[in-house]
Structure 1
Amino acid sequence: FGVRTYAKEDRYYDIAAYGDDAASLMRLLAVSAPSAGGGYLSPKFDGFVGEARVEVRLDRDSIGLTRGGLVAADLTISEGGVEVKYNVYLRGDHILLQFQSTDRSRAELAARLLKLAGVDAEVERVGGEDEWRIRATTDKLAAGRKELRDAIAEIVGTARDNGWINEGTANRWLDKLRSGITLREGWPRYEVGLAKGALVIRYRSINPDNIERETRRLRDMGLVEGVHFSVRMPEGGGEGYVSILKDGLMRAAWLSVHGGEEQRRLAAEFVEYILQRAREGGDDVYRKALEIVKRGREVGSLRLTDIKGAEVLIEGRRHVVSVLGGGAQTERSYSGRTLLKITITAEVDGVRRDYEVTFGRYGKDNKALGRATARADAPGGREADAERLSALIKALTGREPWVYRVGNKMVVECGGEHLDGFARYAELADAITSWLKIAER
């Protein structure tokens, strides 16, 4: 098409087009113009991109089975005279759309075209090779434009009708593709899963601007690098990442309730998005994420004196607990270890006294354990004192502690679950949070 180019000062040029040529130029730029830090060059240009009219063409003759038994097909997305062919595979539990090339610029073009079709997918390097790919799976594809969803639905329908895939699975995919789904806007694709029972939350990208954007967002939320998340910038064309550490999601959940106005908004969006991604990862992943979020929201939400006349059972015996006050502070042991001392003043079964539970980190796995020794001079002796302390701990945390003898002493012991319970109380929360940061180093 016809354009006019005018040389300006330095390295700048004006490119002008009119009538139908202007529309063609706009559509070409929507596909090929570079973005700046993940966004386009101006709000006006964003509008051009939004008006781009991609065309999706399915090669029906390509639908078939690979040698490995997977259903595969080719489809092409084009706009402004530029087109890219993608491969679609129907795997056991998901649909995969993929483009792969040794030409990084071609892969970036494929990602931009796919974005115009309503699907966000980032260019990633394959291993250590000079090969680049983009991938999008079921939910992202189901959030795309209708033209793309219809083409993929035709692949699924053909495979189902030929008996190549499970009918129930095919129908679930078709429901998603035909109705479409909405992903949370403004957030990149975080990976959420389990590794040896621990929740793993990570965002990967080869684009330094994207990593910096996420880092800024987490800082604005109130999370601290090195405490709540870690960052590795991309190098040599490889991936970088932002990894949410185990206390990061809990802190975000706390900020969603107790932070400043903007912090609450950002944290609430982040927490809900991570829960959405966890739900997509399966029941076990979602349960783990929800458990962490619940604990985070509860931190500092209660007062010790809220416990008044609470009735608890210890080995079938009823006890009545009222808490009068308390606090927590860190201190140094003789060996230089940082300990956390929790002091609670309470009345249990009419007996008032100050109770102390001291937490430290122990063992190869650095577990948090809290211990207290029952007093022989307490009413009823050591056994009665240990039972009253057990009743107090259960009233505060919802969990009964362990009680055992060491020589002529009786020890009451708490674990990490009890510490989480103590952290719900405003008088204890800050000291517990600070101690956890120090003690893990």
Structure 2
Amino acid sequence: MRVLVCPHQLGMGGSPLNAIEMASAMRRYGHDPVVYSTSGVLTDILRDSDLQWVQAPASDAPGMAWARRLEDVVRHQQIDMIHAYEWRPCLQAAFGSGRRVPLLMSVMSMDVPRFLPTHLPIVVGTPELQMRMSAQGRKAHLLEPPVDMDRHRSRDVAGARARFGIPDGALVISTVTMLTTDLEKLQGVLEAIRVVDRLAATRPVRLLIAGDGEGLPAVQRRAAAVNAHHGWTVVQTVGFQLDAVPVYEAADIVLGMGSSAIKGLAHAKPLVVHGEAGFWKLVEEDSAAGFLHTGWYGRGGSGIQDLAQALGRLLESPALRMRLGAFGRNLVERRYDLERSAEHLAALYVDVALDRQPQATVVRSLARSAATSARYFTSMRFGSVVDREQWAREGAIA
């Protein structure tokens, strides 16, 4: 089938990168993917993949330019099915070309906005969310964040450390993240800097931070202050990395959430998962099951106290780091392998293409979606901070 793949953007984040990787993999199963998206920092990766790319207007631009262009592409490229990623492309496609060709929605966020149409099949990234969507009457499919196990493998730790100028003997804590307030990612990085600042008084630690966003200047200022206090590089910011593999390779320990956390495990590094409201937890044999069910994220904890305790245990015990690293690599191989995920998605495409909904069901679903999404956009423009925060917690991040 000729499938139009619509990432919400080609910027930083696991979702657009997964969209590109899975689209590329679909060719091995006989599908012919075309990517429809705006340009961004991942454009070079898309071009290197040799996937056909049709540049789209910004999906959040005023007017209907994105949807109108989508209809032109579907018609002229003879598209058989649309696979849209994240809520905004899903919503626009559902009211446009998705009424005439099969549409599969993918939402890799921690929640699904309630205004998305209920008649359309949806792919989510955790078993817990799949169960919740199914309980709401949606056709929910599970496709956990895929990882290329061959690419995400630590082969040259010494070379990776040399690339970042890390001296021998340093204990490296790496994080690959977006420096934004979404899901309190920026707050987590600032907490990590505070903890590493304290640890540096007695240990040769280095916090390696890869990422960009509106919080980068604040992180850089804090890093400079910590480094000046100690007289050596304790916190190193390296900005956005198109290829983040060396950041994981250089690490003794990885901090992260979502797909970044899973990739850290793939590199056989012990992982401390970050979440909201002070959540930090070390991934061990007895804590992994919870993350496998609800996702690599959490909410609620003691903040820097929990992080300091987890890092202290890991830094003091090379044996513990080695054991948990091997455990994590094995877990990702069994659960998140890209090839296994691609095989599942290729079969799902066929099922979605063959499925047909009664017209009355479609009409009711779209009417409900139109009314609920109107309330969302009104809240974003005129609502209170509390209203906007509530929508954000449902996954409707503007």
Q: TM-score, normalised by structure 1?
A: 0.24
Whichever of the two has the greater Rg, that structure is 1
Q: TM-score, normalised by structure 2?
A: 0.26
Structure having the higher helix fraction is: 2
